[in-house]
Amino acid sequence: MPDRVSANLRPGPGECVRLPNFVLIGAPKCGTTSLYHYLRQHPEIYLPDRKELHYFTYQQLKKQTAGPGDERVLDFACSTRAEYEAHYRAAGSAPVAGDLSPSYFCFPEVARAIRAELGDVRIVVSVRDPIQRTYSQYMHLVRDGREELSFHEGLLAEEERIRRGYGFLWRYASSSLYTDRIASFIEVFGRDRVKILLFEDLVRSPHTVLRDLFGFLGVDPEFRPDLSRVYNRSGRPRSLLLARFLSKQNALARRATLRVPRGMRTRLSRFLLDRNTGPKEAIEARSAEFLRGYFRADVERLSKLIGSKPDW
């Protein structure tokens, strides 16, 4: 087992605040929400009540709010060090604390900022078949009532949307190019401190993947969390009106949710979102063919970087 990750402490007003000593950087739609809930069950791991803090990408996210609903990410992002620290004041003596923010993967230039503020932390990245990941990210915005174009139209509109300042979730295909992003974190933190997970392995053998991940983080690898639930599924909404209400794109939704305690509000929203999420249609042939050509060279480069060819 690797050596236990050393605690990273920063002084606050009259107290010591434990900051993360591992960071799960994404990628989006690669099981990060499920991993958050599974890791949180481990008695030696502390994760904040809020999954995505986006502290190190706040300035990038602030500049990219042109897409429908993009500004909402700033409601939950930490804009200051004090806000970030506040989420870790309850970490106590937990030997491992983490930050799970998938936006970090989309802006790999933040790797040096993470190193500068958190030190020699461990980095975890989850990737999946890039065609499936791209489609899942598209369906995520369809599920939330934000995307109105077809998948193929969305792919064709991606470059223009990036130019106009749409947020990172609208970068369907470009954010599925993995190699350079992973290489950036390896360059900053070293290969032995960057753990690459394959989403397909998590689906097929979740306990095996988590046991290996627990060992990498330096906590008891024999702990077996409850894996009976899969979180944050993407799919077409059964009710578009409910989808838009849950994604808080209107003032009525914002006022209504303020009347409900935060913990209950989160559980209720998660329950309703899950019930309102229907199945995904199959990817149409022309989009799949386009993406196979788009990703072919990057998958070959990734295979060389990680030393094995993913079964994609």
pLDDT score recorded for residue 245: 62
Say if pTM beats, i.e. exceeds, 0.85.
Answer: no
pLDDT score recorded for residue 231: 75
Question: Residue 138: left if φ>0, alpha if ψ -120 to 50, beta else—which one?
Answer: alpha
C-alpha–C-alpha distance, residues 63 and 66, integer Å: 9
Q: Residue 9 burial (CB < 10 Å; 0-12/13-18/19+)?
A: middle
Domain parsing of the chain, residue ranges: 8-236+277-306, 237-276
Average pLDDT over residues 289-312: 96
H or E element, residue 17? strand 15-19
pLDDT score recorded for residue 230: 79
Contacts of 112 (CB under 8 A, 6+ apart): 188
SS3 208: helix
Evaluate whether 31 touches 199 at the Cβ level (below 8 Å). yes
Worst-scoring range by mean pLDDT, 33-37, 106-110, 228-232? Answer: 228-232
Upper half-sphere CA count for residue 257 (Cβ side, 13 Å): 18
* Tens digit of each residue's pLDDT (9 = 90 or more) over 118-173: 999 999 999 999 999 999 999 999 999 999 999 999 999 999 999 999 999 999 99
SS3 content of the chain, % helix, strand, coil (to 5): 50, 10, 40
C-alpha–C-alpha distance, residues 23 and 177, integer Å: 20
Band (251; pLDDT cuts 50, 70, 90): very low
Band (260; pLDDT cuts 50, 70, 90): low
Q: Angle, to 10 degrees, between the axis of helix 179-189 and the axis of helix 111-118?
A: 30
pLDDT score recorded for residue 256: 53
Average pLDDT over residues 202-212: 97
Per-residue pLDDT for 13 more than 60?
A: no
Per-residue pLDDT for 232 more than 90?
A: no
Output the average pLDDT for the chain.
Answer: 87
C-alpha–C-alpha distance, residues 4 and 7, integer Å: 9
* Tens digit of each residue's pLDDT (9 = 90 or more) over 267-300: 555 556 556 565 668 899 999 999 999 999 999 9
Average pLDDT over residues 34-57: 97
pLDDT score recorded for residue 247: 61
CATH number 2.30.30.240 is the correct assignment for the domain at 8-236+277-306: no
